[in-house]
Structure 1
Amino acid sequence: MSTRNTDPTRHPSKAADAVRAFNHATLPTRTEPAIAYPGTIYSAIGSFASLAHRLPQAFDQIAGSLTDVHKAGHLTADHGTPTQHTTTAVAALRDAERLALALTDALERAHNASGPLGYCGPIDDTDDDL
């Protein structure tokens, strides 16, 4: 058992809530884009790239912890065997690691490509997207 005082699952839960809030804040309207300025888009992509970059380590640590708990004989299963479920979960987490690396690469390419872009349209001084 962990001797840590905080539940580590609160952190990815907060990250998921933050992405949800971003999605709600950036819903487009019928007349204008959700994010009007390229600098804001660039920053958002960079932040998502940073998030994606950190995911492989998180998935590796979860897989390692699950493996350790299984090897210690501390798992049971409602159906099947703990080994079956552990093997499947760890394999899926390894897949997630690889996909997160690919996501990171794609976001870094998008970030680099959006960096040189500037805005030349009208400026709305009441817009939050500054």
Structure 2
Amino acid sequence: MSKQESLAEDAALCCSPVMREPLSAEQSAELARVFKAIGEPVRLRLLSLIASHAGGEACVCDLTGAFELSGPTISHHLKVLREAGVIEGERRGTWIYYRVRPETLSAVSAMLMPADAGAVTA
């Protein structure tokens, strides 16, 4: 195997998909939308509160008390997370219960994680 082939193989094993090949316009738009949604401190904290809540879901009534923000402001942040596909909500009576969409976080993680991160070395 030539040195160039060996380097190419090493790069394929260690680099995330983002570094192996350019993202398509669609991929970069979707990834940016998720990053923008979770890149704001209140939204990142909301995501964490929802994910770590008992049963993996939280009522909006459980979230508002954690912030010194108005209900409409919290609702706006939840809407941004929902529109980015990071969380989903289900109305139950007068309240909405939110849960994380693991498939979205897994897809983002897979784009950034080196290909060999899950590999076991002997």
When normalised by structure 1's length, the TM-score is 0.27
When normalised by structure 2's length, the TM-score is 0.28
Higher strand share: 2
Larger Rg over CA atoms = 1
